[in-house]
């Protein structure tokens, strides 16, 4: 398994302003583009949705593969890209690999995309 992962950026006033708060620098834009590129494929979006919505928090690759008209190696490739983007993680148990969404990652991405006025309206 590849150990190359992107750190998903947090969302707080001292660290990481949202999209509408300040212009992105080159490094941050490159990091975020990799995450959004990983999400830019319908198969990967479906895989992430299957993983994130799973009761219990994890799902075996053997349960995801039948949902697609793709080979197992192709599914594994898509899962690898999601893992490299820092959206999911996994663990091998015997012959199967189990996946789970990393805590808070989707919330951080949503907060990054949410304009400051919308956050204020939701909390008011």
Q: Which helix (H) or strand (E) holds 89?
A: strand 88-93
Q: Output the six-digit token pair for 1.
A: 């398994």
**DSSP one-letter code for 74:** H
Q: Output the six-digit token pair for 93.
A: 């148990």
Please tell me the total number of residues recorded for the chain in this structure.
124
| CA 7 distance to own-chain centroid | 11
pLDDT at 9: 46
User: Can you tell me the mean pLDDT for 97-111?
Assistant: 87
**How much of the chain exceeds pLDDT 70, in percent?**
77
**How much of the chain exceeds pLDDT 90, in percent?**
50
- For the stretch 17-36, pLDDT in tens is 566 667 888 888 888 888 89
- For the stretch 39-78, pLDDT in tens is 999 999 999 999 999 988 899 999 999 999 999 999 999 9
**DSSP one-letter code for 57:** S
């Amino acid at each position: 398994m590849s150990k190359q992962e992107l750190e998903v950026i947090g969302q707080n006033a001292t660290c990481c302003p949202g999209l509408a708060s300040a212009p992105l620098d080159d490094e941050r834009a490159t990091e975020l583009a990799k995450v959004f590129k990983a999400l830019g494929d319908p198969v990967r979006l479906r895989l992430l949705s299957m993983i994130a919505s799973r009761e219990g928090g994890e799902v075996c690759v053997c349960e995801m593969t039948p949902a697609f008209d793709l080979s197992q190696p192709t599914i594994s490739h898509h899962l690898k890209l999601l893992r490299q983007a820092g959206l999911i993680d996994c663990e091998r148990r015997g012959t199967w690999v189990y996946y789970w969404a990393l805590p808070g990652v989707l919330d951080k991405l949503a907060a990054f995309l949410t304009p400051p006025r919308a956050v204020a309206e939701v909390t008011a």
